[in-house]
Amino acid sequence: MLNSMNEVGRQQWDTSYEWKAVLLLSIGFGLVGLDRWIITPLFPVFMHDLNMNYQDLGMIVATLAIFWGAFAVIMGGVSDKVGRRKVLIPAAVVFSLMSCFTGLANGLIAMLVCRALMGTFEGAFTPTAVACTTEASKPSRRGFNMGFQQCMFAFLGLGLGPIIATQLLRVVPSWRWVFGLVAIPGLIIAFLLFRVIREPLHLEKKQPSDRRSWFEVFRYRNVILTALGLFGAMTGIFVLSAMVPNYLTDYVKLSVSEMGFVTSALGFGGTVGYIAIPALSDKIGRKVAVGGSFIAGMVFLLLFRHTGHNPTVLFIWLFLTAMCVFASLCLMAGPIVAESVPPALVSSAAGIPIGVGEIFGGGALPGVAGFVAQHFGIQSTPYLALAGLIFGFIVCLFLKESAPIKQKAQLSEFGTSI
């Protein structure tokens, strides 16, 4: 095995393709986040036009998450069978068109259909993009590349999304135009992905030995553990994303502008966490990085919960919380699960934790958070997010290390002992 690793290391790596592919996949995933989350800052504008209420918003958000999760599981396996391009490029086209069609909706049912279809194709895009990034990345840069590929989701979706939405509203005739305009970049990226993305070698050869059953992914311990751990991380992320605005205005008594400033920390902190900590994991190992992220996230979340009317300090603690939680999400949905299975199963394996996390963490837990807020007070919701992080940390203790640098060190030690 060590000889085969050395042989791979001697091969010339196509760095040009690596960076082009990772950059396009990063922008594509950022547009996934933008199309998904831009509806929340626009909702106060169109809710009266379409006779909707906050319960309807919850249904819209949950519907997308549930379909995203279900089809991440299904299409991850399909991508391993039919190829990356046949899933990735049509998915980018359709989820972009669904953003445009969202702007044409005239009621709740039409809106739910559009968002369900958007979730379907964004769910298909996500594990396939993870697999493409894994295959394009040199192993020593895999953690950084996967963090970079995923960081744009937080940056565009949660960081810049509200700014883009509100600024476009100042220059377009109607909120409906905003949904149409944000669809255009997705169609451009789909064309560029068509020009750039290659199929991995094992799919191009189509060797019978590379054909594996989707159920085989469950033989690998890290696949099950990352699914459970991602549920904990996504509980933290989605509960905070859904409840922090009301927590800040209703409990901490910030103004709307102060609340917007503090809430933006979720997106900007998540962006830093996506890049910095996975890159660090290339050096120190995945298990240490994800465990440390969960612990630090718990500490920062408690500090956030016990900070009063101080927008700057609240921003700092929320920024650091998001940095740690998004880093743990990235590591478990990306390098850890991708490195734990054979190349022919990467997309299938990535779809499992993404699907479980989305369906339960993204679909069910915001509803639980709403129940907690209604019956125990909005100030109790950060503790629900904290419970998710505690659960995720306990799960990550049982992960098997997957970082190439750690695997190489273990092989070296084995060779020395022999």
- How far CA 71 is from CA of 31, 118, 323, 339, in Å, comes to 18, 11, 27, 22
Domain locations along the chain: 15-200+210-417
Asked if residue 347 has pLDDT above 90, the reply is no
Nearest alpha-carbon partner for 121 in 93, 102, 101? 93
* Sign of torsion over alpha carbons 16, 22, 23, 28: positive
Residues 6 or more apart whose CB falls under 8 angstroms from that of 23 comprise none
Q: Looking at residue 322, what is its pLDDT?
A: 95
Q: Determine the Cα–Cα distance for residues 349 and 356; give it in Å rounded to an integer.
A: 12
* Cβ pair 219, 99 in contact under 8 A: no
Looking at 107-111, 201-205, 346-350, which range is the least confident one? 201-205
Residue 208 or 312, more confident: 312
Nearest alpha-carbon partner for 327 in 381, 288, 366? 288
Q: Determine the Cα–Cα distance for residues 168 and 256; give it in Å rounded to an integer.
A: 19
**Which amino acid makes up residue 181?**
L
Asked if residue 418 has pLDDT above 50, the reply is no
The Cα angle at residue 367 between residues 70 and 36, in degrees rounded to 5: 55
Phi, psi values for residue 161, rounded to 5°: -50, -55
* Residues 181-213 pLDDT 10s: 999 999 999 999 999 999 887 665 555 445 555
* Residues 389-400 pLDDT 10s: 999 999 999 998
Q: Could you tell me what percent of the chain has a pLDDT over 90?
A: 39
Q: Looking at residue 408, what is its pLDDT?
A: 59
- pLDDT category at 411 given cuts 50, 70, 90 is very low
* Residues 239-292 pLDDT 10s: 888 788 878 888 999 887 788 788 888 889 999 998 899 889 988 989 999 999
Q: Determine the Cα–Cα distance for residues 155 and 31; give it in Å rounded to an integer.
A: 10
Nearest alpha-carbon partner for 96 in 38, 159, 145, 21? 38
* Cβ pair 240, 382 in contact under 8 A: yes
CATH 3.30.2130.10, domain 15-200+210-417, yes or no: no
Mean pLDDT of the chain, nearest integer: 85
Q: The pTM is what? A: 0.78
Q: Determine the Cα–Cα distance for residues 11 and 406; give it in Å rounded to an integer.
A: 21
Q: Looking at residue 25, what is its pLDDT?
A: 95
- Could you give the angle at which helices 221-246 and 365-376 cross, rounded to 10 degrees? 40
Asked if residue 50 has pLDDT above 50, the reply is yes
Q: Determine the Cα–Cα distance for residues 134 and 406; give it in Å rounded to an integer.
A: 17
Asked if residue 121 has pLDDT above 80, the reply is yes
